[in-house]
């Protein structure tokens, strides 16, 4: 029996719609659902949060929206990756700034965002992190 077997199909469909909206950066759709009470803390089967998906796909506005609705911007996925490290890997400076503004820790996760910046030559992002914690 799968873990989702007890979750009603309509709930799974809604969750899928929210994850798709985070990936696509559809802030208006997410805002409507969040204001109606949908949790900003949803996590998919890989441990990816809505923030992780928005960050990894380059959507700073969506990251800020989720953070404003109580999402933890530092939650790592099942592989230990944080949204900040994902944004660094992809080179999304505006997403990095949004996550840092929301309190993301550049020294969390594995690899950390600081390590990822060094590994992938994102020297333009390293200065944003300040000194090591």
C-alpha distances (whole Å) from 126 to each of 9, 83, 85 are 44, 16, 11
CATH classification (class only), 3-129: mainly alpha
pLDDT of residue 77: 95
For the stretch 23-48, pLDDT in tens is 999 999 999 999 999 999 999 999 99
pLDDT of residue 1: 38
Exposed / middle / buried, residue 124 (Cβ in 10 Å: 0-12, 13-18, 19+)? exposed
Q: Where are the domains of the chain?
A: 3-129
Q: DSSP letters along the chain, please?
A: --GGGGS-HHHHHHHHHHHHHHHHT-HHHHHHHHHTT--TT-B-TTS-BHHHHHHHTT-HHHHHHHHHTT--TT---TTS--HHHHHHHHT-HHHHHHHHHTT--TT-TTTTHHHHHHHTT-HHHHGGG-S--
Global confidence as pTM:
0.90
């Amino acid at each position: 029996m799968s873990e989702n077997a007890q979750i009603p199909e309509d709930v799974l469909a809604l969750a899928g719609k929210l994850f798709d909206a985070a990936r696509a950066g559809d802030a208006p759709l997410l805002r409507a659902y969040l204001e109606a009470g949908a949790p900003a803390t949803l996590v998919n089967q890989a441990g990816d949060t809505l923030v992780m998906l928005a960050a990894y796909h380059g959507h700073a506005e969506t990251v800020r929206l989720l953070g404003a609705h109580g999402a933890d911007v530092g939650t790592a996925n099942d592989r230990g990756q944080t949204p900040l490290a994902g944004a660094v890997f992809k080179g999304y400076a505006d997403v990095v700034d949004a996550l840092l503004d929301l309190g993301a820790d550049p020294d969390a996760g594995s690899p950390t965002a600081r390590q990822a910046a060094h590994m992938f030559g994102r020297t333009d992002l390293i200065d944003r992190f300040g000194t090591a914690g």
